[in-house]
Amino acid sequence: MVRLQTVGKSDRELLWNINQKYLYEMTNFYDDPMDENGNYHYGYFDAYFSDPKRIAYFIYHDDILIGFAMLCPYSYIGQNPDYTMAEFTIFPSFRKRHFALDAAGLILAKHPGRWEIKYNEKNTGAVKLWNKVAAPFGPEVHHLNPEETVLSFETSGNMSAGCGQTAATD
């Protein structure tokens, strides 16, 4: 069963560590250098512990941490979304089991409203996932540049939570 757990201030170090691994993986698609300490810059990280408009979740399958998601309300395309999927990942060893689809469905069900989700066209897994997630909502497609696409759409409060057994916890 996939479930969400809200990231609290006491979880800061864990989120930092797994976000660094995610940012390393994203260097397959973006040319982001490490700093002198071997970390990748993430300018908004501290805001997830001080800005009430930012929310982070750990994603679990049963009791195993399998990923995370970070949400904010700040637009990539000059609109006024309720939520933007700032970061989202399922760890590589847990992919291709529908966990991402289930987790995304849970997040959208928990946070109905106007959404934006950005992905890199070279990230074929993200392209497939986010287009499948957004399809029922008739997304508008915005091309920021040849490599980045933003899907904007609105969900309702009555949507299903994905394709498998899921639960949300705080």
CA distance linking residue 28 with residue 55, whole number of Å:
26
Report which of 43, 23, 47 is spatially closest to residue 33, judged by C-alpha positions.
23
In this prediction, residue 162 carries a pLDDT of 41
Question: DSSP H helical segments within the chain, as ranges?
Answer: 12-26, 99-110, 124-134
In this prediction, residue 155 carries a pLDDT of 95
Residues forming a β-bridge with 125: none
- Superfamily for domain range 2-169: Gcn5-related N-acetyltransferase (GNAT) (3.40.630.30)
Q: Which residues contact 93 (CB under 8 A, 6 or more apart)?
A: none
In this prediction, residue 29 carries a pLDDT of 77
In this prediction, residue 157 carries a pLDDT of 55
Maximum pairwise Cα distance, the chain? 48
Report which of 123, 76, 124, 132 is spatially closest to residue 104, judged by C-alpha positions.
132
Q: Which residue ranges of the chain lie beneath pLDDT 50?
A: 158-170
Report which of 93, 90, 91, 84 is spatially closest to residue 119, judged by C-alpha positions.
84
